[in-house]
Amino acid sequence: MRAPRIFLAAIAAAGLFALPASVRAADDHAPAHAPIKIPEQKWSFDGIFGTPDLASAQRGFQVYSEVCSACHSMRQLHYRDLTGIGFTPEQVKAIASNFTVPQGTDDAGAPKEGPATPANMFRSPFPNDKAARAANNGALPPDLSLIVNAREGEANYIYGLLTGYAEPPAGFKMQAGMSYNKMFEGHQIAMPKPLNDGQIAYIDGTPTSVDQMARDVTTFLTWAANPEMAERKAMGVRVILFLGLLAGVTYAVKRKIWADVH
Amino acid sequence: MAGLHKSEVTNPVLNWIDQRLPIVTMLQKEYGVFPTPRNFNYFWNFGALAMVTLMGMIVTGIFLAMNYQPNANLAFDSVQHIMRDVEYGWLIRYVHQNGASMFFIVTYIHIYRGLYYGSYKAPRELLWILGVVILLLMMATAFMGYVLPWGQMSYWGATVITNLFSAFPVVGKYIVTLLWGGFSVDQPTLNRFFALHYLLPFVLVGVIFLHIAALHIVGSNNPLGIDPKGPQDTLPFHPYYTVKDSVGICVFLMVWAAFVFFAPNFLGDPNNFIEANPLQTPADIVPEWYFLPYYAILRSVPNKLLGVCLMFGSLLVLLVLPWLDTSRVRSCRFRPTYKWLLWLWVLSFIVLGVCGAHKPEGVWVVLSRLATLYYFAHFLVITPILGKLERPLPLPESITQAVTGRPLENH
Ligand code: HEM
């Protein structure tokens, strides 16, 4: 009786954790010669109750708009989504109107542009991938809507990448137009160092160090990839509590019903 | 004989129906008073858990299908549309996505339960075979489902796995073209996989119905592996096992919910957040965790055809297990040697899973070969031979005697 239970726990544990954990381990070591360690940071959205810090996400949106959006699209987002990081509908309207986006065609059938409304998708910097490559030395700046989820190490990696620019070690051969980055696989990245101290002025006056901007934009991108996170975790706590209670009651009933069976 | 069924149902409406179509009588017989061994442990929950998972998958799947676009240009964005714009779309999708993993965890444990307690032996051979068919259908369903979000791993996983069929001589090429509906994984592939992904779960429902019908003919096995000798050895299914299954279902739903709400992407692959790109192969193509053991078997040998045969063989061998096992004792509780060798088999399965997550190089090749060897040797060599050599422990006289320590009252 006892042995099977213990082993059940063992298989379940192995099935649940060992296999996927090893998948991740395998990926971490993808370049077998030089595994890159991604340092862990503390984030507002860590853990069961953590959700993205809204002030930080709003600053991060400013970093994206003023810096990253020159090269990177965020095709999955609409301006209306920005209410999710605490902007009011009026603020969203004002923000959207700063951007010029395609607005269908005019009466003569020619493509038309105009100020964005909250219903519009985020403006993309390039009309297509080819144009994006042409402007970036042949490299494609990936869409950032899901980038946090699309990289091993998630937020820690994005932060590490943005703060990981350095002089190449002596003897490291760099190709023309590439930058050295400690976090990037192969250490040569086609994205020039995007953040520099004091590069922009935050609306809320927070000093714009590279570290601060990297944190803020990573928080924004984490929200952008998981806009449901706050709602999801809050609902999760309630669902688990409810199920726990239900399990307890059901177990009590079970004990009672089985009491007469020896 | 024509005429109305004699129904004992008292509610007049139900009675009227039951006289014409005795479903109430049937439910009462199969799930109400159905005599069930009194000594089940919690391993016997897993069939019910699999049913719950399947129903969850069908319900969430139908709602996903209402918003999903099986079109290579739109599929990826339509999944994001579900995640971002559809009311509670994220919930529906995360339940479905993690539900696939839950389904496999539950089913693997359910199968293992059958192996440990000898539930595949006479008279339950057909019940077991139907179970293996269910496993195969589940795998096909999950494989095609994983292609639908049209991420990088969807695309490249589909390419690698469908390409396996090309290993078969002569017909291989044609099978692959047929699967693809063209000359690479593309729009026609996605479209037919969606159609089949919608269809197969309902085929599963049919096979599961047969699985349970067969169970209700031969009756349940139990942890002792001995047949009930009379009413004192059984309990009516309701309320004893309905309530015991309910406890298990609550705990299971908590595990499922923990993944959905707190770690929805833990079991997924980051590459699937990147839209499929036929021009860019990911550094390492790995299937979902539940396929890793089979993937390791496939890659453990240098010859593609042999690898494919071993991979399918590792599943098909289960079909003949009832005839490979020569021991007349069902439960491992009374098989002191076989018990440990079965654990060794479980270990080999887990080792294969770990190997499947690593590139087949160095120590991983050696390990996956050893584990593959044991996986097959266990069924094909050890099980038939040990059944003849092993001296089983004495079986208890009856379930009641074993559970209560009392000899049978009517003896
Ligand atoms: C045997 C039960 C089922 C299994 C094991 C299964 C498995 C899966 C898997 C693994 C995925 C990919 C999830 C992801 O990574 O996003 C998926 C997606 C999908 N499934 Fe199922 N499924 C089942 C039943 C159904 C049913 C019955 C339907 C429809 C009636 C359905 C509709 C869909 C749709 C539309 C998608 C694409 C959306 C998405 O990727 O989330 N599924 N399924």
**Over B324-373, what HEC string results?**
HCCCCCCCHHHCHHHHHHHHHHHHHHHHHHHHHCCCCCCHHHHHHHHHHH
Give residue B1's pLDDT: 54
CA of A66 to the centre of ligand 1 (A): 39
- pLDDT greater at residue B405 or residue B1: B405
Question: Is there a contact between B85 and B117 (Cβ–Cβ < 8 Å)?
Answer: no
* R_g of chain A, CA atoms, integer Å: 24
Q: Residue B182 contacts by C-beta under 8 Å, 6 or more apart in sequence?
A: B188, B189
- pLDDT over 90 at A162, yes or no: yes
Structure tokens of A170?
Answer: 């002596």
Ligand 1 atom 25: residue of nearest CA:
B61
* R_g of chain B, CA atoms, integer Å: 24
Q: Each residue of A178-226: pLDDT tens digit?
A: 999 999 999 999 999 999 999 999 999 999 999 999 999 999 999 999 9
Number of other CB atoms surrounding residue A45 within 10 Å: 21
Q: Establish if A186 touches chain B: CB-CB under 8 angstroms.
A: no
pLDDT band at B408 (very low <50, low <70, confident <90, very high): low
Q: Establish if A228 touches chain B: CB-CB under 8 angstroms.
A: yes
What ipTM score was computed for the predicted complex, to two decimals? Answer: 0.92
pTM: 0.92
Question: What is the C-alpha separation between B337 and B378, in angstroms, rounded?
Answer: 12
Give residue B411's pLDDT: 41
CA of B57 to the centre of ligand 1 (A): 7
Give residue A262's pLDDT: 63
Q: Each residue of A7-17: pLDDT tens digit?
A: 444 444 444 44
Ligand 1 atom 8: residue of nearest CA:
B145
Ligand 1 atom 28: residue of nearest CA:
B61
Chain B residue at shortest CA distance from A258:
B240
Q: Establish if B230 touches chain A: CB-CB under 8 angstroms.
A: no
Q: Residue B27 contacts by C-beta under 8 Å, 6 or more apart in sequence?
A: none
- pLDDT over 50 at A149, yes or no: yes
Scored b (16 or more CB within 10 A) or e, A172-211 reads eeeeeebbbbebbeebbbbbeebbeeeeeebeeeeebebe
Question: Is there a contact between B54 and B205 (Cβ–Cβ < 8 Å)?
Answer: yes
Question: What is the C-alpha separation between A185 and A164, in angstroms, rounded?
Answer: 12
Question: What is the C-alpha separation between A114 and B167, in angstroms, rounded?
Answer: 56
Q: Strand ranges (DSSP E) for A90-192?
A: 100-105, 111-115, 179-180, 188-189
Check the CA dihedral A205-A209-A210-A216 and report its sign: negative
Give residue A260's pLDDT: 87
Residues 267-286 of B with CB under 8 A from A: 267, 269-271, 273-274, 283-284, 286
Q: Is B111 in the pocket of ligand 1 (CB under 6 A)?
A: no
Active-site positions of B?
Answer: 216, 220, 244-245, 288
Closest alpha carbon to B37 in B210, B305, B244 = B244
Q: Establish if A245 touches chain B: CB-CB under 8 angstroms.
A: no
- Percentage of chain A modeled with pLDDT above 70: 87
pLDDT band at B403 (very low <50, low <70, confident <90, very high): confident
Structure tokens of A183?
Answer: 């976090």
Q: Each residue of A67-86: pLDDT tens digit?
A: 999 999 999 999 999 999 99
B87: left (phi over 0), alpha (psi -120 to 50) or beta: beta
pLDDT band at A34 (very low <50, low <70, confident <90, very high): low
CA of B92 to the centre of ligand 1 (A): 10
Structure tokens of A81?
Answer: 């989504």
The residue with tokens 């496939």 is B298
Q: Is B198 in the pocket of ligand 1 (CB under 6 A)?
A: yes
